[in-house]
Structure 1
Amino acid sequence: MAQAAGFLTELPGTVLRVARVGGTVFGYAVVYGPAALAARLRRRPWRGAGACLSSLLTSLGPSYIKIGQLLSTRRDLLPEQVCTQLGRLADATPAPRRKLLEGVLHRAYQDQPWPFAEFEPTPVATGSIATIHRAVTLDGRPVAVKVRRPGIGRVMRRDFQLTGMAMGALQRLPRLRSMPLKMMHAQVGGAILHQLDFTAEREALGHLRANLREFAWVRIPAPLPELCSEDVLVMEYVEGLARRAPKTLSADARKAAARRVMSTVYEMLFVDGLVHCDLHPGNLYVNSDGSLVVLDAGFVIKLSEPVRASFADFFINMALGNGPLCAEIIIESAASIAEGCDLDGFRASLTELVSESTGTRSREFNLAKFAGRLFDLQRRFGLYPVPEFAFPLLSLLVVEGIVQGLDPELDFQAEAMPVLRRRNMPRTSITS
């Protein structure tokens, strides 16, 4: 009875959301459909596909924006030009009305005294899921208060159901039956919904601080558990943050920062399997002395041990130029393999790609292009990786531009080797 009552309560909102999403998609189909159809009839790619999809996802809201951001890494499933457009999606939206913000805070602290001596209602940062506010606790500590947008959970969960239905329908199409669309939706969509869980984010902050405690040059704000709730996350406020252009730093600071960024990411990725997928310049700050500040653990993913180990194996063998073993790792870890796949052809093509990429420096090695060629091979031969591989790839793609701006001579692969050798025992030969 309770479940039925809950379903009936949610039904009107779900119907309205379906109507809005359906209406928006229909409107885009009417406006852009003729151009897409004309390109198909001419058997040419539609150049406006990426911009159209990016605009559509932005109109549909935060769930779809974040799906687009993740899909931008899936060059095994989407054309390069579409992925490029999706990679430019931004999720900043206007702050909610002050009355709604006050309602969230009132519910969070209704069973205890108001814990802040000062609270700035105007946010210092806004996002699609939450806003960030500066405050001072009663004992004088400056803190950052992350407040979840009211109602955003219901909207994103409804969107998750809708996209699940769409993936199920697409999976029935003959050309898409071999693609792991349902699995991808479950893992990618689940990761997006995971960002609503402020308790998990608070724990992720603690894990990141513990796992990187040996790195004195990385600062991660400490959460204040006693002031946190389901809708509010309170952490120490980091003063003096500024986005510094690389040219404003000394040469030594730039080189130190580049290596520290890669060491931090590699430690998280290859050792802990705790991947920060959102280290853009708004969440990763470089100080004038080359030290780092890492913020916002909302999009931190814990990789399963098989995926962490496989990714580490692949990366170290890529650095060593062992293309045949790289191919075997991808084949073994694939979510699905098309019937009649030419595995020997895939092995030969990947071996050639790895050979071309081994030992290149940052200026010469472009991770996005390497990933694009890798995924193109997988798509062409019909090998589809587990969706979890999107997360470490996203982490590396996000920081690549930052590192290249700091030190274009940095050797990405050489920087990874000490971490891989110190903490992992990867396969480095093919066994029969």
Structure 2
Amino acid sequence: MGTLPLTGPATVGWGRMLGRAGTWAGTAARHGTVGAAESLRRRLNRNGRQPGRDRLTTMLVSLGPTFVKGGQLLGTRQDLLPPHLCAALGRLHDRVDPMTRAQAEEVCTHAYRERTWPFKEFDWTPSASGSIACVYRARLHDGREVAVKVRRPRIRERMHADFALLGKGASVIQRVPGMRKVPARRMVDQVGFAVLRQLDLDAEAAALTSLRANLTGLEYFRIPEPLPEACGEGVLVMEYLEGLGRFGPGELTREERRVLVRKVLHGVYQMLFLDGLVHCDMHPGNLYLTKDSEVVLLDAGFVVRLDPVVKRQFAEFFLNMSMGRGAECAEVVLQSSEYVPPDADLDGFRAGIVELVTAAHRRTAGQFRLAPFATRLFDLQRRSSVAAAPEFVFPLVSLLVLEGMINEFDVDVDFQAEAVPTLLTALRT
């Protein structure tokens, strides 16, 4: 797996894009009309039935996998959204309505049309249901139990059209005064490439293999082994891991939660700062626990390899932030930027970064929020016309997804200090 090329979605015709735009508008209008009717009914009859909290998730599912992915990210942010909304969005992690048996059989029949059916037994009731694929339990002819990930039929065209539309919108944004130096289109293209890559189950198998090799030294991480001899087009076969529990505080003691969250942090820091192969989708639907409190990561669809220069610059920024060195952070941001105008107010920009880093220094998870921090950072860049490198979106996405989980487990963890040993090792090498 090499460095990600800076390319976006495949070329999509205007007809398909207009069709998807019509679907967006029709879906939003339909759900908006139903929501307005329910609101009016509640006002006329206070004892009337309350609307379900699934309306938003139902709309996102109707819009398709592109929007489900956005909802999954938001569902992890209990620090930013009301608990009832996070609970509703949490349904999107692995409880999206499954495809029918006929759809699953269609994909599998096509995948093994020119080879022997590798399964002795196959349970067509999905054990997990995601926006892009469903997971089933099966048994190979040699007796091994396996998990089988089956991609939903005909979603490739829809997702490519969605990102093509988002790209067009980003191009329009870049023409707005004050936004012309914001690389919105390039950011959409890069995020689109990473998300659309989740359609490629061969790439996911390769990512699983790489993550297993990289994290071998962390005995508390478990990643299923892909079985390429049993895979097919649109079908990924992996070893089945027994006895998994949901990843959450549950009945864990405070000390168990404290230890567990640090294990996860150290694994993510190794991905970010040492390996450069980053899992950007560590939400509760992809994380599980064994009875021995091992962390199991089941999905490797949204995995990105960072450019070595970006990896080092991100490590330098994080280390300087951990040490409260705002001036050094400002220099890293300037060095990593795509464009710094000759007339930029660099003194004001540096002062703003120093203030931002000083306010964040040595804050625990419960005292720090990455989303407002990143918003303030990008606002400083925008006001100074300093164009940020879009590559930094991937490490930020990884940490944003993770941050909600960290706060749920241990608000007292000093995530900056926990990163320092890994950062020092990374920057020495």
In structure 2, relative to structure 1, the CA distance for the partners of 1:193 and 1:57 (3 Å cut) is same
Quick one: distance in 1 between partners of 2:31 and 2:401? 30
**1:362-401 alignment to 2 at 5 Å?**
362-401=365-404
Once the two structures are TM-superposed, the CA of residue 105 in structure 1 deviates from its matched residue by 0.3
In structure 2, relative to structure 1, the CA distance for the partners of 1:403 and 1:64 (3 Å cut) is closer
Match of residue 191, structure 1, among 166, 189, 194: 194
Match of 1:155 in 2: 158
Secondary structure of 1:383 counterpart: coil
Secondary structure of 2:210 counterpart: helix
Once the two structures are TM-superposed, the CA of residue 387 in structure 1 deviates from its matched residue by 2.3
Secondary structure of 1:125 counterpart: strand
Quick one: distance in 1 between partners of 2:255 and 2:73? 34
Match of 2:321 in 1: 318
Once the two structures are TM-superposed, the CA of residue 380 in structure 1 deviates from its matched residue by 3.5
Quick one: distance in 2 between partners of 1:348 and 1:410? 28
Once the two structures are TM-superposed, the CA of residue 236 in structure 1 deviates from its matched residue by 0.8
1:306 aligns with 2:309: yes
Match of residue 265, structure 2, among 259, 262, 265: 262
- The answer on whether the counterparts of 2:182 and 2:382 sit within 8 Å (CA) in structure 1 is no
**1:286-297 alignment to 2 at 5 Å?**
286-297=289-300
Alignment deviations for residues 276-325 of structure 1 (CA, whole Å, 9 cap, x no partner): 11111121223454321111000111111121111101000111111111
RMSD (Å), alpha carbons: 3.4
Once the two structures are TM-superposed, the CA of residue 20 in structure 1 deviates from its matched residue by 2.6
Unpaired runs of 5+ residues, structure 1, are 1-6, 33-51, 74-79, 427-432
1:139 aligns with 2:124: no
Quick one: distance in 1 between partners of 2:408 and 2:74? 25
The one-letter amino acid of 1:290's match is S
Match of 1:430 in 2: none
1:422 aligns with 2:404: no
- Please identify runs of 4+ aligned residues in structure 1 that moved more than 6 A: 25-32, 52-56, 68-73
Once the two structures are TM-superposed, the CA of residue 54 in structure 1 deviates from its matched residue by 8.9
In structure 2, relative to structure 1, the CA distance for the partners of 1:29 and 1:237 (3 Å cut) is closer
* Residues paired across the two proteins, number: 394
The one-letter amino acid of 2:99's match is P
1:281 aligns with 2:251: no
- The answer on whether the counterparts of 1:180 and 1:336 sit within 8 Å (CA) in structure 2 is no
1:410 aligns with 2:410: no
In structure 2, relative to structure 1, the CA distance for the partners of 1:227 and 1:314 (3 Å cut) is same
Match of residue 179, structure 1, among 165, 168, 182: 182
Quick one: distance in 2 between partners of 1:331 and 1:254? 38
The one-letter amino acid of 2:415's match is F
Larger mean Cα displacement after TM superposition, 374-383 or 270-279:
374-383
Quick one: distance in 2 between partners of 1:61 and 1:247? 31
Match of 2:237 in 1: 234
Match of 1:205 in 2: 208
1:108 aligns with 2:111: yes
Unpaired runs of 5+ residues, structure 2, are 1-10, 36-54
Quick one: distance in 1 between partners of 2:155 and 2:423? 40
Secondary structure of 2:237 counterpart: strand
Secondary structure of 2:167 counterpart: helix
Match of 1:354 in 2: 357
Match of residue 330, structure 1, among 330, 333, 337: 333
The one-letter amino acid of 1:172's match is R
TM-score scaled by length of structure 1: 0.81
- The answer on whether the counterparts of 2:280 and 2:398 sit within 8 Å (CA) in structure 1 is yes
Quick one: distance in 2 between partners of 1:167 and 1:345? 28
Quick one: distance in 2 between partners of 1:101 and 1:253? 40
Alignment deviations for residues 134-187 of structure 1 (CA, whole Å, 9 cap, x no partner): 111111111110000000112112223222233223333334322111111210
Larger mean Cα displacement after TM superposition, 369-378 or 316-325:
369-378
Match of residue 120, structure 1, among 120, 123, 130: 123
Larger mean Cα displacement after TM superposition, 216-225 or 58-67:
58-67
- The answer on whether the counterparts of 2:247 and 2:284 sit within 8 Å (CA) in structure 1 is no
- The answer on whether the counterparts of 1:179 and 1:336 sit within 8 Å (CA) in structure 2 is no
The one-letter amino acid of 1:262's match is L
Once the two structures are TM-superposed, the CA of residue 104 in structure 1 deviates from its matched residue by 0.6
Once the two structures are TM-superposed, the CA of residue 133 in structure 1 deviates from its matched residue by 0.6
Quick one: distance in 2 between partners of 1:288 and 1:369? 36
Secondary structure of 1:136 counterpart: strand
Secondary structure of 1:195 counterpart: helix
Match of 2:52 in 1: none
- The answer on whether the counterparts of 1:70 and 1:390 sit within 8 Å (CA) in structure 2 is no
Secondary structure of 1:385 counterpart: coil
Once the two structures are TM-superposed, the CA of residue 27 in structure 1 deviates from its matched residue by 7.4
Secondary structure of 1:301 counterpart: strand
Secondary structure of 1:345 counterpart: helix
Match of 2:226 in 1: 223
Identity of aligned residues (%): 47
Match of 2:46 in 1: none
Quick one: distance in 2 between partners of 1:29 and 1:336? 41
State the structure with bigger RCO (CA 8 A, min sep 6), 1 or 2. Answer: 2
Secondary structure of 1:424 counterpart: helix
Quick one: distance in 2 between partners of 1:411 and 1:160? 37
- The answer on whether the counterparts of 2:221 and 2:295 sit within 8 Å (CA) in structure 1 is yes
Once the two structures are TM-superposed, the CA of residue 328 in structure 1 deviates from its matched residue by 1.0
